[in-house]
Structure 1
Amino acid sequence: MQALRFIIGSFVLAVGLFACGPGDGRQEYTDTPVKGTITISADESFKPIVDALIQVYESNNDSTKINVQYKPESECIKDLWNDSIRMVISTIKLTDAEVQSVVDSMHIVVKQLPVARDAVAVIANPASKDTLLTMAEIQMILTGNYTRPLVPVLDGLRSTSTIRFLVDSVLKGQKLTDKAKGANTSDSVINYVAKVPDAIGFIGVSWIGNQDDARQLSFLKKVKIVQLESSDKPDKYVLPVQANIYTKRYPMTRDLTYILKEGHRGLGTGFADFMSGEIGQLIFKKAYLMPGRRNFIVRPAETKE
């Protein structure tokens, strides 16, 4: 997080130094919430869910085109200072001061909103015996101090939201082992873990959560999901299902947020409203994320043998 804050601060300074005056702030726009073309930037860890959201939005509004560039999270943050990028979707939430810095530098309205809660899922090779892990054991795996030589496999070794979460929220200052493997994409992480018995992967749950997605079902035939010790009940192990993500019983959760830069009611606003509206929230729910803008009721249930 500190590294990303440095990136944000550096860009604010650079834009401030090279700005060419305030201008009159007026610009001709050709897009509306239901017409036009825009480009957005999204954390590549969330490609399945962002693809699904865009597909439905464009289907419902056939005069729209949303071009998405998938990048590591740090590259998405740089796009806050890119005039051609209308929106950023990632796990970063700017502070009030950072929002104001973007507003002052870019002379544009900035809005941000968490629209869903995600989880970092842990996956193992089908032959692995490590199917129940505590967070202390996760730390040992990531630092290379686990009782068995498990190799952590990540979607890259720097700059992604998954890496930032593991370094900031799990390792908390400890060094990631040099034995960690970096894959180009989340599906590459899945394929690597499926082939290597001692590998253990870390990916966003949206890559394996949609039970109606044939590709994701094929992933689940290759690997198995590790259960982590519940954050509220020692010795109880839980999966990253929506109820556990909602209550944060699953210990590795994070919010998915959009940051919109738009000085008019355009296509970016339309897509933002869609994500936080009923249909968008249902798409998040279907993808195994926890909808962030709708109430979620957890009901007790019993199974009969």
Structure 2
Amino acid sequence: MTDSPRPQVRFITVDSEDAGQRIDNFLVKTLKGVPKSMLYRLLRKGEIRVNKKRTKPEYKLVDEDIIRVAPIRVSENTNTVSTQLNVVANLEKQILFEDDRLIVINKPSGMAVHGGSGLSFGLIEALRALRPDARMLELVHRLDRDTSGCLVVAKKRSALRHLHEQLRNKTVQKFYHALVKGRWSTKLTRVAEGLKKNDLKSGERVVVVDNINGKESETRFKVLQHYKNATLVRAFPVTGRTHQIRVHCQTKGHSIACDAKYGHEDFDLEMKTLGLKRLFLHAASIEFIHPLSNERIKIEAPLEPSLEKLLKKLTKADVH
């Protein structure tokens, strides 16, 4: 590998998009590849200054601040990206909507939203490789690794703040499609159970129903199609707890097909025999107010062909 050019002093002028956030968080996103511990050391030693003065990590940036960063050499580990080029290229085809504020992507099942937990490469890293000129790309919300479908990524801090506010005010509507075990009753339209996270000795995290110590959670359900031994349901999570839809389905005796944590062994085996290789939970659509136009938009993500194929193999049953 050839030597990279000698590192230079960098000057960064803060604009209104980045004003208001802590300098340590800003630097982590701006100086990609620089370890957090090194950033704190540079701040402490005065090698990163704001308006020529030393500053603390918790300092909140102001519009027009000038940040001076002493020369730092960042080891460019391009191997991770190059080995994942096919993943990156495939992601381009999964973009459902993009403008200068947002990207909405149909996240593939099996892909973590970001690296960590032993994964060096997640969706957000792949998107950054796909859009190297984007000043920022941040997840607006998350999806479980095995869940596919609509995922919103902000390109500007103002868009991120706007959408987070909508999530807090519950004006974002997310609809999921799930194939579940057995015959879901058309009368079962609401599940409200307290949910509590438990860490097992193995380090695995599971969520259990606990109406005393758990956090309140609610999901609304609608039957889309009954099949022999299974039902396709639409789920609308009113709250956004970890594994909420998966646990709410399980607790009613209708585990989602091929759910490694909360599934039903016999049902999963039956679905695997028919060719299902992943969790059948898909974020089918998302609706929100666009941060710039203030218009309400709805974006839909089609089911991947393997899930469509499975549904065609199932025998439809009447809705009573």
Aligning the two structures, in what range does the TM-score lie when normalised by the shorter sequence? under 0.3
Task: Indicate the structure with greater helix content.
Answer: 1
Structure number with higher relative contact order (C-alpha < 8 Å, ≥ 6 residues apart): 1
Higher strand share: 2
Please, what TM-score do these two structures have when normalized by structure 2? 0.26
